[in-house]
Every structure is written in C-alpha cells, then in structure tokens.
C-alpha cells in the first residue's frame, strides 16, 4: 500500500480523497493555485505545493508541474479526482514514466473510453446499444449541418473530451447550430484543452441513468447498481439519487451487464461510470463512459456501504476487489443535491464573493436517516471566479425514497449560507415538487417545471399561515427581550397584541397574539393558530412546531418585519401595529433605475467576445457578447430590435456584476 499520495485537484473532491487517505493511514500532498492558497484542501492535507496562477490552464491543467510536485513530495501515487486531468491519457502516461502510480484506470482504457467518439465505436463493436449519430469528429460547421440534417433535429453538439455539461449544447433547429458549435468548442478547449466536437441525436423524454463500475488489475469487474441523474440544468446534474425510481430488475441487470462487458473489452480497471439515456419504454442507449470518479459517487456509497475512493486506491496498488457481483448490496435510498454558488432568481447566474456565513446541517445518522455533506469551502472563504461554482454536495440516506427526500428537504432548510447567492431554495423547491416526489423524471424536468425560470416554490394558504406565525413570533420575542431591559415597563411580560401582517402583497389581521415560555397563540384572520417556538433574537433559524410538524425557517430582520426562507420560498413578512400599517400605505415606493437601454454584465466574468460595434443594428435574439465565468460561457442576446449607441467594454475585460457592456440608442 502507498505511504503517500498527491491529489491533483481542489475543492470538495480533494477534501473527500484526503478523508479516506487519512483513515487508511496514507499521507497526502495537496496542490494549489494562487487563488487557492488558503483553501480548505490545502489546510487538510499533510503537505501542499504551489503550482501556478489562478487560471486552471496555468495551474491544475499543467501536467509537468503536478508530476514534479509528486516527485518533490515523495508521493508514490496520484489521485486526479474528477475534471481537470482526471481523463487525460497523457497525464497517466507521464506519471507512469516518472514511476508514480495513477489512481485511476490505465492509460489505454482512458484513451479508449475517455474520448466520446472512440468510446461509441468501441461500444457499438462490443454490442452495446448506442444513440444514433455520427461516429467521428465534426470537421466544421458545414459538416455539422450535414450530419444534423441527416439524423434530424433536435441534436446535441458535445465535446469529445471531458464531461460535466462543459462543451455541450442542445440544438433545436439549424439557426442555433453555428453559435452552439462556437460556444461548445470554446468551453471544451478552456476546460479540457481539447476542442473536438461530435453531433448526435437528442433522445426526447430521456432519463439519464448511469452504471457505477469498479474493476481491479486482475480482470475482475463488477457494477455497483445505478444512479438516476435526470435532474439537470444546462446538462449539468443538479440532483442525483440511487437507485433509480424507474428501473426494474431486468433492465438494471441488462444495463449492468452491458457496462461490465464494455469495461472488460477495453481492459478497464479502477472506478468508472457508463452513462445511458433511457426512454419511457426502458430502452437504453450508451452515451459515454467517464473514466474517473463521479461527482455523485456518495449516493452509491450510501446504498452499498462501500468507499469508492478506498477501492480505487487499493486497485491502483494492485489489490484484488474485495467483493464479487453477488456481494453488492442495495440498501435503502440516497439523494444528493449539489449546492452551487449561483442565483436561481436571476437565471442561475454564477455568484462569487466571500462566504460570510457557512453552516451546513449536522452530519451523522439519527433515527435511520443519514446526512452527509461533502464540501471544500469554509466560513470566511472566497468563492472564486476561476473554478466550478460548487459549494457542497449534500446527501441523505433513509429506508425509502420518500423518507430520503423528506430528510433532504429538512436538511436544506437548515443549511445556512450568506454572502453570495446560492441555489438552496431551488433545491428545496425540487424536493417539494409533486412530480419529483412521484419519480416522473426526465432530463427536461427543470425546463418543464420552471418554464419561466425559478420564482420560488408555490405558497399554499396553510404555508402562508406558517410564515405569518413565524414572523409574529419573532416580533413578540424581540418585544419581550426589549422589555427585559433594566428599568423598562412590563419587564418580561408580553401583553396581548394586535398586528397587521403583510405577505405576498396581501394584508392579514392578527389578533390576541401571545408568546409565553415558547408557546405561541394567535388568531390569523379570525382563525386560531397555536405552535411551539424555538428562537432567540440573533439566531438565523426559527423552529415552529405546529400540529406535530416541525418547520425550520431561515430568518433575518428587515425593515418593518422579517425575511423568511423555507421549503424553496423566500418571503418578506412585515408585522406592524394597525396604526403603523396604515401609515405604511402612504409611503412612496422607490422606483428602480431604468436600465432598459443598457446591456449589463450579469455576473463577474471575462468578456471573451463582442459581436457588435457602435452604430450596428441588431434584431431580438442576436448575440451581443460572451461572458465567461466559472468555466462556462454565457452568450448575452439582444432582447429587442435596436441600434448600438456605445460599446463600453472590450474583449479581455474582467467585469463585475452590473458593469455596463454597451448602450442602445
């Protein structure tokens, strides 16, 4: 067994690998860029080596520097994590030449299966069902148009190398093809150093279901069940679960058998994942093979009881698999939600900045429910513009799917993040979505359930009463505390009160409101409401126990009331005396500034292209500029016809959020 390993990655996956290595008694070496000098993985590792500037192309993608860091640190093996160099054949070969083990598959398997074009040809030769498309690299836009016309729209333009939704676009018609090719190639080149693309048919009403493989260097290959990864946005997974609510035993065995056959055909070893698209009739088609550890591996670990990182390390050290196919368990249900630094209310635009508060829910097992949080950040740390926007991967495990979902919803309500925008409300809304809870999933789920973008989960009448009660309880508790100040009247005693609460644009009458020793009683529009309240001023969470159900609110003071967040809803609830509420109606609303003639940068990022010049006429839908942030290209389109008056930015500029790019006449 290795005595020391180097982790050629950053963030949560580097921290995840360090935890297993530490448990196995293996010393670790971290690598870091200028932007990650104070990162959590650097703090956790036994040693750390600086490898270059912040951009990944100048640090984490520099093979020579990482190999030298492994040499200098005395590491006998390197774990690549996922992304970056994890599927780069040349990296595995360079390590082999240096006499350093690669904790991943052999270079031949990476070359065969890490390339989407080559892997499709091999899969077809091995008898694996594949998606209709062109089995090769597209030469140019004209070639892509020819292929697309032949197989029919919609099609997918996707990077031949890499994964994670980078370099992938769904093209609905021929007009969208040109821009899709440009963006996909740029993203692929920036993320993987390989701009090759392929075109294939987009299967309608698809589910994304993948098979987890594990193999050793002795020819043994097993599959560790499947993961359902259909909840995606921009082809990047958002929520994953294991097992799939859709597969039956026959289909599971058939998919697993094909995945194993494919792995054996290329002499595969280590962890790997074979991704399939599955239609409504349970027909499945090979998409690609990821020759690395997947982001969503925790859900597989939770239902099998296995540590995939440990199995990878042992495989790289030459050990045989400790179990056979018949020994693989499938115990309970696991859900993973990816917490991203992005604003779901602004089209999921990336968010950067300092985490002024970061308090994930407590990890561990209680009453048959397990909560796990894989993260690479800490309170006070920075979310950088240079890397993937993931903050954490929150996972839950329980006896049934329903219990695992309920546990996830509760855990998300307890996840405290501030300082940046984040997608926790969106994830919570998914957990409460009836279609998700029923398991009626496709890769189009998010687009179909939120066609106008995310505006928050719907608020029922019962939910509205809970929000109002929470705000009134906070108001009463603060008044009680103020009354406990020495010399104040009514010290410690809260008399009955009447208020007017405003929620969602409507007013609610509150009468006979009392809070004593945590017991709340009030009338909301004449209906009695009783609950137990656990909250003290200054706490970011308020717990309301009503009719046997516990609801956790994130709470913050706001002028005239409280900002409350729970279950995918974020609402401002004002609580005023009847007289103050009457006066509030006389206040003039401040009109927001008119920015209709400006194109503003939607997030901090780099201007990689400007498609217009001063005096140029544009039509609605025309591309104006491209902003790159967190390894993703964002094409800014004209919202209406117009003429460009001024161009205030240029290619290569680093802009902040709401900086002006150009003005219209």
Banded pLDDT at 645 (limits 50, 70, 90) = very high
Around 236, how many Cα atoms within 13 Å sit in the side-chain half-sphere? 17
Q: Is the model's pLDDT at 456 over the cut of 50?
A: yes
Q: Do 397 and 438 belong together in one domain?
A: yes
**Domain assignment present for 521:** yes
Q: Is the model's pLDDT at 496 over the cut of 70?
A: no
Share of the chain above pLDDT 70, in %: 98
Over residues 170-194, the mean pLDDT reads 90
Give the range among 4-18, 122-136, 469-483, 523-537 with minimum mean pLDDT: 122-136
Which DSSP string do the residues of 137-148 spell out, in sequence order?
Answer: ---SHHHHHHHH
Ramachandran area for residue 469 (φ above 0: left; ψ -120 to 50: alpha; else beta): alpha
pLDDT value at residue 487: 64
Q: Is the model's pLDDT at 508 over the cut of 70?
A: yes
In this structure, what CATH number is given to the domain that contains residue 473? 3.30.700.30
Q: Do 303 and 320 belong together in one domain?
A: yes
Q: Which of 423, 450, 477 is the last residue of a domain?
A: 450
Banded pLDDT at 121 (limits 50, 70, 90) = confident
Q: Is the model's pLDDT at 112 over the cut of 80?
A: yes
Q: Do 305 and 369 belong together in one domain?
A: no
In this structure, what CATH number is given to the domain that contains residue 156? 3.30.1490.20
> Would you call 507 a catalytic residue per the annotation?
no
pLDDT value at residue 491: 46
pLDDT digits (tens, 9 = 90+) for 279-338: 888 989 998 999 999 999 999 999 999 999 999 999 999 999 999 999 999 999 999 999
Q: Do 470 and 570 belong together in one domain?
A: yes
Over residues 520-539, the mean pLDDT reads 95
pLDDT digits (tens, 9 = 90+) for 27-57: 999 999 999 999 999 999 999 999 999 999 9
pLDDT value at residue 488: 57
Provide the domain count of the chain: 6
What is the value of pTM for the model shown? 0.86
Is the alpha carbon torsion for 23, 28, 33, 35 positive or negative?
Answer: positive
Q: Which of 331, 356, 378 is the last residue of a domain?
A: 331
**Domain assignment present for 339:** no
Q: Do 378 and 486 belong together in one domain?
A: no
**Domain assignment present for 593:** no
**Domain assignment present for 590:** no
pLDDT value at residue 490: 53
Q: Is the model's pLDDT at 464 over the cut of 60?
A: yes
pLDDT value at residue 494: 47
Q: Do 113 and 256 belong together in one domain?
A: yes
Q: Is the model's pLDDT at 518 over the cut of 80?
A: yes
Q: Is the model's pLDDT at 114 over the cut of 80?
A: no
Q: Do 469 and 561 belong together in one domain?
A: yes
Q: Is the model's pLDDT at 161 over the cut of 50?
A: yes
* Domain that includes residue 189, residue range: 132-201
Q: Is the model's pLDDT at 492 over the cut of 50?
A: no
- Residue 149's H or E segment, with its range, is helix 141-151
Banded pLDDT at 189 (limits 50, 70, 90) = confident
In this structure, what CATH number is given to the domain that contains residue 42? 3.40.50.20
Q: Which of 408, 430, 450 is the last residue of a domain?
A: 450
pLDDT value at residue 190: 83
pLDDT value at residue 79: 98
pLDDT value at residue 205: 81
Q: Which candidate, 246, 419, 432, 256, places its Cα nearest to that of 337? A: 432
Q: Do 319 and 354 belong together in one domain?
A: no
**Domain assignment present for 341:** no
The count of other CB atoms within 10 Å of the CB of residue 500 is 18
Q: Do 120 and 145 belong together in one domain?
A: no
Q: Which residue has the higher pLDDT, 621 or 485?
A: 621
pLDDT digits (tens, 9 = 90+) for 552-571: 999 999 888 999 999 999 99
Is the alpha carbon torsion for 239, 241, 246, 247 positive or negative?
Answer: positive
Q: Under DSSP, is residue 533 helix (H, G, I), strand (E, B) or coil?
A: strand
Q: Do 613 and 656 belong together in one domain?
A: yes
CA angle 168, 173, 177 (to 5 degrees): 50
In this structure, what CATH number is given to the domain that contains residue 622? 2.40.50.100
Say if CB 273 and CB 242 are below 8 A apart. no
Q: Do 501 and 409 belong together in one domain?
A: no
Q: Which candidate, 276, 306, 308, places its Cα nearest to that of 290? A: 276
Over residues 80-86, the mean pLDDT reads 95
Determine which one of 288, 296, 342, 633 is catalytic: 288
Q: Is the model's pLDDT at 493 over the cut of 50?
A: no
**Element counts in the chain: helices (H) and strands (E):** 17, 39
Over residues 151-168, the mean pLDDT reads 83
**Domain assignment present for 379:** yes
**Domain assignment present for 455:** no
In this structure, what CATH number is given to the domain that contains residue 443? 3.30.470.20
**Domain assignment present for 592:** no
Q: Do 262 and 410 belong together in one domain?
A: no
Q: Which candidate, 367, 359, 372, places its Cα nearest to that of 415? A: 359
Over residues 576-603, the mean pLDDT reads 86
Cα distance between residue 152 and residue 149, in whole Å: 5
Say if CB 61 and CB 85 are below 8 A apart. yes
pLDDT digits (tens, 9 = 90+) for 214-230: 999 999 999 999 999 99
């Amino acid at each position: 067994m290795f005595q020391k390993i180097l982790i050629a990655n950053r963030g949560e996956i580097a921290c995840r690998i360090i935890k297993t290595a530490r448990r196995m008694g293996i010393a670790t070496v971290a690598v870091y860029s200028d932007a990650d000098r104070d990162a959590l993985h650097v703090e956790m590792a036994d040693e750390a080596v600086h490898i270059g500037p912040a951009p990944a192309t100048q640090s984490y993608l520099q093979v020579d520097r990482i190999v030298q860091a492994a040499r200098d640190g005395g590491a006998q093996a390197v774990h690549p994590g996922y992304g970056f160099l994890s599927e780069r054949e040349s990296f595995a070969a360079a390590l082999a030449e240096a006499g350093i083990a690669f904790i991943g598959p052999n270079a031949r398997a990476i070359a065969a299966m890490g390339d989407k074009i080559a892997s499709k040809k091999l899969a077809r030769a091995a008898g694996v069902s594949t998606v209709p498309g062109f089995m090769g690299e597209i030469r140019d836009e004209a070639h892509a148009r020819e292929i697309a016309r032949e197989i029919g729209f919609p099609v997918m333009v996707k990077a031949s190398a890499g994964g994670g939704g980078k370099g992938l676009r769904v093209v609905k018609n021929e007009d969208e093809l040109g821009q899709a090719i440009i963006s996909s190639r740029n993203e692929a080149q920036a993320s993987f150093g390989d701009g090759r693309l392929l075109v294939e048919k987009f299967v309608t009403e698809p589910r994304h279901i993948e098979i987890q493989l594990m193999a050793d260097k002795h020819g043994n290959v097993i599959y560790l069940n499947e993961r359902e990864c259909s909840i995606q946005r921009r082809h990047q997974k958002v929520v994953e679960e294991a097992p799939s609510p859709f597969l039956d035993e026959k289909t599971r065995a058939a998919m697993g058998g094909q995945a194993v056959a494919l792995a054996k055909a290329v002499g595969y070893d280590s962890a790997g994942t074979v991704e399939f698209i599955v239609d409504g009739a349970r027909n499945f088609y090979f998409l690609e093979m990821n020759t690395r550890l997947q982001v969503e591996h925790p859900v597989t670990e939770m239902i099998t009881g296995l540590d995939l990182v440990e199995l990878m390390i042992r495989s790289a050290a030459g050990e045989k698999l400790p179990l056979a196919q018949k020994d693989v368990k499938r115990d309970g249900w696991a859900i993973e939600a990816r917490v991203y630094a992005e604003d779901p209310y602004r089209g999921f635009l990336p968010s950067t900045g300092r985490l002024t508060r970061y308090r994930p829910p407590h990890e561990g097992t209680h009453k048959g429910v397990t909560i796990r949080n894989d993260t690479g950040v800490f309170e006070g740390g920075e979310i950088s513009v240079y890397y993937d926007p993931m903050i954490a991967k929150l996972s839950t495990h329980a006896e049934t799917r329903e219990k695992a979902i309920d546990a996830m919803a509760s855990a998300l309500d307890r996840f405290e993040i501030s300082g940046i925008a984040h997608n926790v409300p969106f994830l919570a809304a998914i957990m409460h979505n009836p279609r998700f809870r029923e398991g009626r999933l496709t890769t189009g789920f998010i687009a179909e359930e939120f066609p106008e973008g995310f505006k928050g989960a719907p608020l029922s009448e019962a939910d509205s009463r809970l929000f109002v009660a929470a705000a009134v309880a906070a108001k009463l508790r603060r008044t009680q505390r103020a009354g406990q100040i020495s010399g104040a009247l009514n010290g410690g005693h809260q008399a009955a009160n009447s208020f007017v609460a405003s929620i969602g644009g409507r007013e609610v009458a509150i009468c006979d409101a009392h809070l004593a020793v945590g017991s709340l009683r009030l009338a909301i529009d004449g209906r009695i409401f009783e609950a137990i309240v656990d909250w003290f001023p200054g706490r970011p969470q308020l717990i309301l126990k009503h009719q046997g159900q516990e609801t956790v609110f994130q709470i913050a003071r706001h002028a005239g009331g409280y900002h409350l967040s729970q279950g995918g809803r974020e609402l401002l609830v004002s609580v005023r005396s009847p007289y103050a509420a009457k006066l509030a109606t006389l206040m003039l609303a401040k009109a927001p500034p008119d920015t209709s003639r400006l194109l503003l940068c939607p997030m901090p990022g780099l201007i990689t292209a400007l498609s217009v010049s001063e005096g140029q006429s544009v039509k609605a839908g025309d591309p104006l500029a491209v902003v790159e942030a967190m390894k993703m290209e964002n094409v800014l389109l004209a919202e209406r016809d117009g003429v460009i008056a001024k161009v205030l930015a240029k290619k290569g500029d680093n802009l902040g959020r709401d900086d002006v790019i150009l003005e219209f006449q």
